[in-house]
Structure 1
Amino acid sequence: MLPEPDPALCSDLAADLAAAGYTAEALRGAWGDAADDAIARGLRAPADRALAERDDPVAVLGRLLMLGMPQSEASVSRSLPRTGPDGLERLGLASVEGGQVRPLAVVRPQSYADAEAPDGGSSWWIASDLDEAALGGPLPEDHVLGVGGASLTLAALQLPTPAARGLDIGAGCGIQALRARRSVGHVVATDISPRALGFTRLNALLNGVDAIETRLGSLFEPVAGERFDRIVSNPPFVITPRVGDVPAYEYRDGGMEGDDVVAAFVRGVGDHLEPGGIAQLLGNWETRAGTPGLDRVREWVAASPVPLDAWVVERESLDPLSYAELWVRDGGTLPGTPGFARLIDAWLDDFTAREVTEVGFGYVLLRRPASGEPTLSRFESLHQALPGDGLGRHLADALAAHDRLTALDDAGFAASVLVVAPDVTEARHHVPGQEDPTVIELRQGGGFGRALGVDPALAALVGACDGDLPAGVLIDAIAQLLGADAAALRADLLPRVRELTFTGFLRFA
């Protein structure tokens, strides 16, 4: 367990790191793009080799705090003049012996996209446990994970709209709580690991973020009877065999069978949401005995005692063998090493016992309706590459559009004025020698990067949405040009235009 972090010492360390220019950009510049990418694959040698004999603060701190390599006490003293080796030791981040500073944790600069920030980005310093490259072997079961791809994904998904009170379940190193505090007034961060909560408190102090409260416990136990405006969770959703010789990593294994951790969250979160409150999480779900994973998630939502709006997006799916290989490797056991084949067999046996043929991964957004019954039930697979950042803003805009659309009947919607979103483009495909296109496609440059084929009438309507005339007037004009019945064309186009408005191709003027 980490010692309780001293606020003044954390402030000194932050000042030292800032003065040293210890940023992700500086490190990438020091050892190059190839070595930086190799670090993500667990290879430290290219970065260490690129630094060679350099002894400036960026090189010293890069080796010590990024790569997890011991450094001389003298060089650390020069690089961290306020904190010193003794300060790192008091924070539980290093040990000092025989003139050497040996890291016990990493403190890595983490840049991230933030559409709400003035320059479109922000950065943190995030402390976490040493990874398998620094340890030289598999991770201990109480390992506290740093910032990975899933962490950044969920941070980017968080809604940027303001809220009073938030909850981060399974806080780990605290990145989601830090992100939530950018728009939420007070955040409660929970975890089953005292060490993880220690890192959460340390990282909050290191980054000068207040109003993050930590509590020990599983799922909703630490907040029994409480409600929140915003709940976020990157839960320990990794499906792990429940047998004794398979490591149960706290950061990824919730101790339940199959996808029961995610199911428990979905079924139980409604009781902890204020009316209008929103929960967001990442998760895995199994396709079992022919029942698709998304259909099983739909059943979990329906089983909630509190009715919920739901928007679930499956981003990828893996067969059982690929899933097993992914997570066996993640724990530091590689092909050809002792135990690899045994662990793979344990995973496959576990999946076979439940008749699992596929495992999906994706995003879950749940909302407790402010009043009345749920109006949003959307379960979709979107496996294409995402075009960029700003997903949190996209989700917030989609929810606002949905609420406005729900309040409008067809006559009201037809009277609405719409505009094409600035990231939308149109592609037309022609057979050589023919004037009319065979395919008309609308493409979205932001959001989920959707692309869809449209017919000439819908393409004409989208092209005419310039914020001037109501949609109904435009449809009537298009019907006249096409020689079509205006009422029939309205009945055909309005539901599809509603969908385009929800998904962000069109916006209310």
Structure 2
Amino acid sequence: MSADHGPAVDSTRLRADLTAAGYVVDEVLDRIGTSGQDGLGRNCTVPADVALGDATDPLATLIRVFLLQQPVPAADLRGALDVDALLAAGYLAAEDDRLRATVDLRPYGSPDDGASGWVVADLTPGLDTVVEPTRPDYVLGVSPASTSLAQLTMRTPVTSALDLGTGCGVQSLHLARHAQRVVATDVNPRALELAALSSALSGTGVELRSGSLYEPVAGERFDLIVSNPPFVMSPPGDDEDRLAYRETNFVGDSLVETLVRGAADHLSEGGSLQLLTNWAILEGEPWEERLAGWVPDGCDAWVIERERLDVFAYIEMWLTDAGLGGRPGWRAAYDEWLAYFDGLGITSVGMGWILITRAGRTVPHRRFESWPHAVAQPVGGVFARHAAAVDASRLPTAALLAARPRLVDVEQETLGDPGAADPRYVVFRQRAGLLRAIKADTALAAVLGALDGDLTLGQVLAAVAQVLEVDGPELAAQVLPEVREALLDQLLVID
């Protein structure tokens, strides 16, 4: 951890106190129950408060002060924490004989990869319907967006990883489990302060640096770069009025463009950039072509649009996020945003996932698609296997026929008319990952169904041609493109 961004309190003492009080994920969940946890997910503290009842033990007190944002008797909290140190650091504030938290300090545990520790951020906005304007240097805690990024991040062991725009530092908790070295950056000094405490409490040893985009890591390369950057495309304004966790002074989506264009200069050979972000849809310009123009030479790209919002829904979402709902400035801000989008020609906004890999292929693989359908999280493994899937789908025909593909985690559905002797078609559907499916005719279904990794594809094609009494080369010409697609989509793999 950089000496400039060390925690403002004795993290060893604080971690010991939190642990001694049982302020860890499992014990907190046991104490507030499913209803309490679900309530906090809805920004409502009542179910958890009811579960705690009149309890004043250390765990109940820590839950009240940090998760429920309630003032607690100073005497109760002094029995659990070094109150004076937290007051001096500004993480607690005194109100007569009671204390309240000025930060959200909560235990963290991911069932996906086992990342655990504590995350420190600013207080949860909108708790119990109390909505206030958000401070410009607000540090967002664990959110649906940060959870989604963690779930789509590849967890392949790497030498170095960059958490660009670290915020509260939650991505670094995950990266530290599979990266030998983690560098985390942010332009917001308060984010670096709170991320330093998150890292120190969780024992991740993250190196924190101050600066924008790639500036803090100029001349360095990483095996993996992850970011949920401040991508909100808001109208220009004064820096002191901007919300640092979501907005910048970049025009439109040019911040995202800058990250993508600069990726190759900061990735090791075979390294990848993964973004959870959004991009502008411009009138009269296919978004796929526009984003393809950002991808550096020699890099593969896979961009998945998960959702698209019209400008009205997009603006309303972020005005509400800023705490402007029901306030006098709502309509003026709305109109300003509409005019800004109109001037840029933005008709809607795409939101989704970007993977850029410095693959070094002579002919890079570029894929741009809309996939708004349900997926089975975590999907990080899908991205981790993507390069191999591309290789397999591009095998020369002779090599492909000699390979032994097999179906992976796929279920077969037979669909047809009641009473009919034969099905109309067969569907092969993934049970994990992106949950893709292949609608297969008789020939393709026979080939896919026989691919179990024992026989070569050539042997299976010959056998199916014989059974169906069709010409072998014609069957191969019909089926091979579908097999290549199934390899790319990871319904089939070659070991």
Alignment TM-score > 0.5, same fold: yes
Distance (Å, rounded) in 2 between the aligned partners of 1:23 and 1:435: 59
Contact 2:188 2:210 in 1 (8 A): yes
Alignment deviations for residues 125-181 of structure 1 (CA, whole Å, 9 cap, x no partner): 100011323685121011011111111111122211122122221111111222212
Deviates more, 1:17-26 or 1:176-185: 17-26
**Compared with structure 1, are the counterparts of its residues 228 and 5 closer, same or farther at alpha carbon in structure 2 (3 Å cutoff)?**
closer
State whether structure 2 residue 85 is matched by structure 1 residue 87.
yes
Alignment deviations for residues 272-320 of structure 1 (CA, whole Å, 9 cap, x no partner): 112211111111111101223333211211xx3x431111111111111
State whether structure 2 residue 119 is matched by structure 1 residue 130.
no
Deviates more, 1:71-80 or 1:192-201: 71-80
Distance (Å, rounded) in 2 between the aligned partners of 1:480 and 1:228: 52
Counterpart amino acid of 1:215? R
Contact 1:171 1:177 in 2 (8 A): yes
Counterpart amino acid of 1:267? R
Q: What's the secondary structure of 1:469's corresponding residue? A: coil
Alignment deviations for residues 389-423 of structure 1 (CA, whole Å, 9 cap, x no partner): 2x1122112222323444x31111111112211x2
State whether structure 2 residue 283 is matched by structure 1 residue 289.
yes
Q: What's the secondary structure of 2:454's corresponding residue? A: strand
Contact 1:72 1:100 in 2 (8 A): yes
Q: What's the secondary structure of 2:63's corresponding residue? A: helix
Contact 1:235 1:254 in 2 (8 A): no
Q: 2:352 aligns with which of 353, 357, 362?
A: 362
State whether structure 2 residue 237 is matched by structure 1 residue 251.
no
| Number of equivalenced pairs | 490
Contact 1:225 1:272 in 2 (8 A): yes
Q: How far 1:438 sits from its partner (Å)? A: 2.0
Q: How far 1:90 sits from its partner (Å)? A: 4.1
Counterpart amino acid of 1:373? T
Q: 1:264 aligns with which of 249, 258, 277?
A: 258
Distance (Å, rounded) in 2 between the aligned partners of 1:197 and 1:263: 24
Contact 1:286 1:292 in 2 (8 A): no
**Compared with structure 1, are the counterparts of its residues 326 and 28 closer, same or farther at alpha carbon in structure 2 (3 Å cutoff)?**
farther
Alpha-carbon RMSD: 2.2
**Compared with structure 1, are the counterparts of its residues 184 and 374 closer, same or farther at alpha carbon in structure 2 (3 Å cutoff)?**
farther
Q: 1:100 aligns with which of 98, 114, 123?
A: 98
State whether structure 2 residue 171 is matched by structure 1 residue 185.
no
Distance (Å, rounded) in 1 between the aligned partners of 2:90 and 2:457: 62
TM-score by length of 1: 0.90
The aligned counterpart of 1:403 is 391
Q: 1:110 aligns with which of 79, 103, 108?
A: 108
Contact 2:9 2:86 in 1 (8 A): no
Deviates more, 1:392-401 or 1:357-366: 392-401
Q: How far 1:20 sits from its partner (Å)? A: 2.3
Contact 1:427 1:442 in 2 (8 A): yes
Q: 2:336 aligns with which of 321, 342, 346?
A: 346
**Compared with structure 1, are the counterparts of its residues 113 and 403 closer, same or farther at alpha carbon in structure 2 (3 Å cutoff)?**
farther
Distance (Å, rounded) in 1 between the aligned partners of 2:242 and 2:375: 32
Q: 1:325 aligns with which of 309, 313, 316?
A: 316
Percent identity over the alignment is 40
The aligned counterpart of 1:144 is 139
Q: How far 1:97 sits from its partner (Å)? A: 5.2
The aligned counterpart of 2:48 is 47
Distance (Å, rounded) in 1 between the aligned partners of 2:362 and 2:89: 50
Deviates more, 1:240-249 or 1:463-472: 240-249
Q: Can you give the 5+ residue segments of structure 2 that lack an aligned partner in the other structure?
A: none
Alignment deviations for residues 209-253 of structure 1 (CA, whole Å, 9 cap, x no partner): 11x211111111112222222211111011112246994210001
The aligned counterpart of 1:480 is 466
The aligned counterpart of 1:427 is 413
Contact 1:288 1:357 in 2 (8 A): yes
Q: What's the secondary structure of 2:261's corresponding residue? A: helix
Q: Can you give the 5+ residue segments of structure 1 that lack an aligned partner in the other structure?
A: 116-120
The aligned counterpart of 2:306 is 315
The aligned counterpart of 2:400 is 413
Distance (Å, rounded) in 2 between the aligned partners of 1:138 and 1:317: 27
Distance (Å, rounded) in 2 between the aligned partners of 1:385 and 1:285: 21
The aligned counterpart of 1:118 is none
Q: 1:377 aligns with which of 360, 366, 374?
A: 366
TM-score by length of 2: 0.93
Distance (Å, rounded) in 2 between the aligned partners of 1:40 and 1:241: 30
Contact 2:392 2:494 in 1 (8 A): no
Contact 1:293 1:359 in 2 (8 A): no
Q: What's the secondary structure of 1:467's corresponding residue? A: coil
Contact 2:151 2:377 in 1 (8 A): no
Q: How far 1:325 sits from its partner (Å)? A: 1.4
Contact 2:65 2:101 in 1 (8 A): yes
Alignment deviations for residues 358-405 of structure 1 (CA, whole Å, 9 cap, x no partner): 211111111112x4424321111111111232x112211222232344
Q: How far 1:481 sits from its partner (Å)? A: 1.7
Deviates more, 1:177-186 or 1:131-140: 131-140
